Amino acid sequence: MRGNINLRIPSDSSFQLIAAATSTRNIQLGTFSGSDLSFVSEGQRVIGETGDGGASLTVTNRRGNIAFIRRQRLN
């Protein structure tokens, strides 16, 4: 609810996303920004999917930022 949220997501992940940062309107998609993800509600929310959308991810932060960081898989 408060503070920053940093999510490290494997580079080959696929998911449906709903992310909301209602006060700060600061959602950083990083390299995921090229996916089918869209900012809505004057930048307060991001919705859409990446890959085949096999998983569901919902993130809400009322008083902080949300950042998505692509993590490379180790072999």
For the chain, domain boundaries:
5-71
Amino acid at 46: V
Tell me the average confidence (pLDDT) per consecutive run of 10 residues in the chain, 75 residues long.
Answer: 87 91 90 87 91 91 92 72
Work out the widest C-alpha separation in the chain, in whole angstroms: 40
Q: How many residues in the chain?
A: 75
pLDDT at 32: 86
Phi, psi of 14 (to 5 degrees): -130, 135
- What number of CA atoms fall less than 13 Å from residue 1's CA on the CB side? 0
pLDDT at 75: 62
Residue with token string 């408060």: 2
